[in-house]
A and B are shown apart, each in its own frame.
Chain A
Amino acid sequence: MAEKILMKGNEAIAISAIRNGVDGYFGYPITPQSEVMETLMKERPWLTTGMVVLQAESETSSINMVYGGASCGKKVMTSSSSPGISLMCEGLSYLAGAELPCVIVNCQRGGPGLGTIQPSQSDYNQCVKGGGHGDYNAIVLAPASGQDMYDFVDWGFDLAFKYRTPVIILADGIVGQMMEKVELRPEKPRMTKEELLAAAPWATTGKTADRPYNVITSLALESDVQERFNRKLAAKYEVIKEKEVKYEEYQTEDAEYLFVAFGCSSRICEAVVDQLREEGVKAGLLRPVTLFPFPTKRLQELSGQVKSMMSIELNLGQMVDDVRLAVNGACPVGFYGRQGGIIYTPDEIVEEFKKFNNLK
């Protein structure tokens, strides 16, 4: 069995990047994700795999370095926390517009503004609904453990290259700061030049006589060109929604009440489900692992089985809108959240659940 190492979620991101053959990381420090770059700097992968690690002068700079690296077909990534992600949103829109693959980690803290450095899930709308301007979506993955942080880097790059799209790993201060045991998967070397040409024939790797120019741009001045491109993106998103939805269920087989929660909240809700089951209440949990694409179909199915659903989030109620859209009135949908870095306890959620469902 592979070795299991005690590490923070942020450290797992860094170690995974090195071991999965990432070509470059560009970032700027911000709590609670600074350990990502700290770990990369400590590991010095430029001496082993040749991976580039660079502290840029700002988040704006980091995301545009990602644009540059991705244009050449390289596996490049960045990480930040909420205010830094806001600064990156212009670049994110350009990456989506130029159909460039990359991985962006958002280890969320409380906002708006400079906010608090404590954990939060208040960037759901920002990351899942766009963030930057224009008609686009990024694939959004929601890790709930150190192992997820490790595994989602590789999964994220697979998706990014498969669909030529930015992928966001939407973590939070808990998942980033918490240490857990993480199993190191077998290493993947960096792509060779030949592998890169095969994986990214669109990349600007230097024109050869046997193909036309590769152009990386998000500029489409002519309306019909822009609309054609928008529809191409829409078709791509439909395929993603069809094929890449991932979720986990806990105690849903006979559930009469359903919790919906992602990331660290899903773990707290597992404890809530256990507590309610001990009291004889048939509760279950659906944890969306992908937030875009969202597990709409499965929630539709479950809306015919359960008496009610409740979305539990560390924000003022963001994902709950997507739950309501999925359910479309088929059952009542409630919400409970905390803000400012305050984490709900299982007891507190049980109490709110009973209030919402008129249970004693």
Chain B
Amino acid sequence: MKEEIIIAGFGGQGVLSMGKILAYSAIMQDMEVTWMPSYGPEMRGGTANVCVILSDKKISSPIVTKYDTAIILNQQSLDKFESSVKPGGLLLYDPNGIVRHPERTDITVCRINAVDVAAKVGNSKVYNMAVLGGYLKMKPVVEMENVDKGLAKSIPARYSDLIALNKAAIEEGMKSVETL
């Protein structure tokens, strides 16, 4: 199994930490992972993206240009990455603020209104976990018990009381994702 994922959106949406939690969950499942962020002066308030690769085998190149899954959280990222999803792949996006929606028909397109999900859980900061839940529903690449462990590893000990909230957002995200 090898899953190549691009997660892209605005800086501040939790793109990088979503990737990190996913990567840590995969480590808990004894998989190989790479997490390669875009980095630069444009990140604050601008676009941010991270390429996460999960694999049963050693990962050679950490840089890829075609993805099994694209998780898209703003218009710029949709414009940039829609064409780079492999045929038969998955595109999961948040329609909030999107004016030009995905057009491809050779991939699975899913939608999650993660702002609403986070509001329902009661904290807008778990927006990214709602999106992660949507992804894990569509592609259960890691088991939930390992996601729990991944969360515990990624969240600093002083915030451990927030693990339950993050988990609730993941679960609510799983319920809210819809396939178009």
Known contacts A6-B20, A6-B27, A6-B35; A274/B63 CB under 8 A? no
* B62 within 8 A of partner (CB): yes
CA distance A267 to B62 in the complex (A): 8
Minimum distance in angstroms from A150 CB to a CB of chain B: 15
Minimum distance in angstroms from B159 CB to a CB of chain A: 15
Q: Which residues from B are CB-within-8-Å of A270? A: 60-61
Minimum distance in angstroms from A39 CB to a CB of chain B: 14
Q: Which residues from A are CB-within-8-Å of B27? A: 4, 6, 181
Closest to B51 in A: A178
* B105 within 8 A of partner (CB): no
CA distance A267 to B59 in the complex (A): 8
Q: Which of B24, B41, B61 interacts with A267 by CB under 8 Å?
A: B61
CA distance A270 to B41 in the complex (A): 31
Q: Which positions 14-28 of chain B face chain A at CB distance < 8 Å?
A: 20, 23-24, 27
Taking chain B's interface residues, is the majority helix, strand, or loop, or is none over half, making it mixed? mixed
* B68 within 8 A of partner (CB): no
Q: Which of A181, A267, A347 interacts with B60 by CB under 8 Å?
A: A267
Q: Are A271 and B60 in contact (CB under 8 A)?
A: yes
Q: Are A178 and B39 in contact (CB under 8 A)?
A: no
Q: Are A179 and B39 in contact (CB under 8 A)?
A: no
CA distance A267 to B61 in the complex (A): 5
Minimum distance in angstroms from A259 CB to a CB of chain B: 12
* A256 within 8 A of partner (CB): no
CA distance A271 to B62 in the complex (A): 10
* B137 within 8 A of partner (CB): no
Closest to A173 in B: B39
Q: Which positions 32-86 of chain B face chain A at CB distance < 8 Å?
A: 32-37, 39-41, 59-65
CA distance A148 to B64 in the complex (A): 21
* A32 within 8 A of partner (CB): yes
Q: Which residues from B are CB-within-8-Å of A118? A: 40
Q: Are B60 and A274 in contact (CB under 8 A)?
A: yes
* A16 within 8 A of partner (CB): no
Q: Which residues from A are CB-within-8-Å of B125? A: none
Closest to B36 in A: A178
* Binary B-proximity of A333-360 (CB < 8 A = 1, otherwise 0): 0000000000101110000000000000
Q: Which of B35, B39, B63 interacts with A31 by CB under 8 Å?
A: B39
CA distance A131 to B148 in the complex (A): 49
Minimum distance in angstroms from B48 CB to a CB of chain A: 13
Q: Are B41 and A117 in contact (CB under 8 A)?
A: yes
Q: Which residues from B are CB-within-8-Å of A267? A: 59-62
Interface size class of A (residues with CB under 8 A): 20 to 34
* A180 within 8 A of partner (CB): yes
Interface size on B, residues (CB 8 A): 22
Minimum distance in angstroms from A144 CB to a CB of chain B: 10
CA distance A53 to B33 in the complex (A): 31
* A63 within 8 A of partner (CB): no
Minimum distance in angstroms from B80 CB to a CB of chain A: 15
Closest to B21 in A: A6
Q: Which of A181, A271, A347 interacts with B33 by CB under 8 Å?
A: A181
Known contacts A6-B20, A6-B33, A118-B40; A178/B62 CB under 8 A? yes
Known contacts A4-B27, A267-B60, A267-B62; A177/B33 CB under 8 A? no
Minimum distance in angstroms from B59 CB to a CB of chain A: 8
Minimum distance in angstroms from A151 CB to a CB of chain B: 16
* Binary B-proximity of A9-39 (CB < 8 A = 1, otherwise 0): 0000000000000000000000110000000
* A268 within 8 A of partner (CB): yes
Q: Which residues from B are CB-within-8-Å of A268? A: 60-61, 63
Q: Are B60 and A174 in contact (CB under 8 A)?
A: no
Q: Which residues from A are CB-within-8-Å of B35? A: 6, 178-180
* A89 within 8 A of partner (CB): no
Q: Are B61 and A346 in contact (CB under 8 A)?
A: yes
* A264 within 8 A of partner (CB): yes
Minimum distance in angstroms from B57 CB to a CB of chain A: 11
Q: Which residues from B are CB-within-8-Å of A31? A: 39-40
Minimum distance in angstroms from B60 CB to a CB of chain A: 4
* Binary A-proximity of B131-167 (CB < 8 A = 1, otherwise 0): 0000000000000000000000110000000000000
CA distance A274 to B59 in the complex (A): 12
Q: Are B36 and A177 in contact (CB under 8 A)?
A: yes
Apart from A6-B27, A6-B153: 18 A-B pairs, beta carbons within 8 A: A6-B24, A6-B154, A31-B39, A31-B40, A118-B40, A174-B36, A178-B34, A178-B35, A178-B36, A178-B62, A179-B23, A179-B33, A267-B59, A267-B61, A271-B60, A345-B64, A345-B65, A346-B61
Closest CB pairs A-B (n = 5) = A270-B60, A179-B35, A271-B61, A271-B60, A268-B61
A sample of 24 cross-chain residue pairs with beta-carbon separation below 8 angstroms, ordered by A number, consists of A4-B27, A6-B23, A6-B24, A6-B27, A6-B153, A31-B40, A173-B39, A174-B36, A174-B63, A178-B36, A179-B20, A179-B23, A179-B36, A180-B35, A181-B27, A181-B32, A267-B60, A267-B61, A268-B61, A270-B60, A271-B60, A274-B60, A343-B63, A345-B63
